[in-house]
Structures are given as structure tokens and as C-alpha cells.
Amino acid sequence: MKTPLHVSIAAVLVAVVTAGVAACTSPPAPEKPAAVAAPSDARSKVTFSLSDTVSVGALQVDIVYASGVGAFAGERDSVECETLVEGALSSYNHLPDTHTLKAAYVAVQGMQGPIAIAECTFQGEPQAADFQIGVLDASTPDLQEIRPLPSVKATVTAAG
């Protein structure tokens, strides 16, 4: 024999399940949004250059690009970047989720600025102003800290 408490709990469960089933019915289909332009298939070359007249042995930069302008081709260490300084060692890490390219360079013989350091492929048509370049660390070939930190700039050209 069921007690009144069991009957009440059973009635509540039936009401909850019934309400849940009613809530699971499909709502009316939303209106389709206005057509959105397809992303550009354009590819650009972005060249990063040391702007100052300084001899650099090691350089570390973070390059943040504006969202919505595209992204560097490739992810993580498979980003499409070419180091332009002869004999320099380099490391790249593209983090598309944060719109950031991290790059580091070591040139035992030094790289004398101004000089083009790297060229990367970018999927989209950005402007140079879309790149915010933060120089995190720089030192001379004999490992002396460079202060103030040198400037690095971006130049954008259409990929040919």
C-alpha cells in the first residue's frame, strides 16, 4: 500500500516528465540570417623588419593581429613563415585562438638593422596597422640587453 507521500512524489514526477517532454518539442525554425560575404581567398605576405640601426643577436616578439582580417597560414609551429636572416635560428608559434604569432630569433653573428627578419603567409587582406608587434626581449650578439627595445614593423604585400 502506498502512503500519501509516495503518491505525491509520483504525481510530481509525472508532472515534471510531462513538462520536460513538452519543452523538448521543436520550436519554430528561426528566420535565415541575411547572406554573409564569403571569406576572402586572398593571400598576403607579411614581412617583419627590424626598424632601428642596431646589432641584434637575439630577438623575441609577439605579433597580435586584429580579429576578422584573416589569419596566418598554418597553426602552432607549422605556420608558413620564412626567416630571411642568413644563418639565424628561429622559432614560430601561431595561436589562432588568440590571434597571436610568437616568434624568436637568434643570430650568433648578429643581424644589423634595419633588416627584414621574416616573411609569413597571411590568409586575408590585412593592412600593416592590423598587426600590433610587441618586442619582449632583445640582446646584442655578445648577450648584452638592448634598452630601449628595438622596433619591429610589419609590411603587407599581395602574394604573387
pLDDT digits (tens, 9 = 90+) for 38-63: 345 889 999 999 999 999 999 999 99
As a whole number of angstroms, the distance between CA 152 and CA 48 comes to 7
Residues 6+ apart with CB under 8 A from 142: 57
pLDDT digits (tens, 9 = 90+) for 60-95: 999 999 988 999 999 999 999 999 999 999 999 999
pTM for the model: 0.73
Domains and CATH numbers, the chain: 43-158 (2.60.40.680)
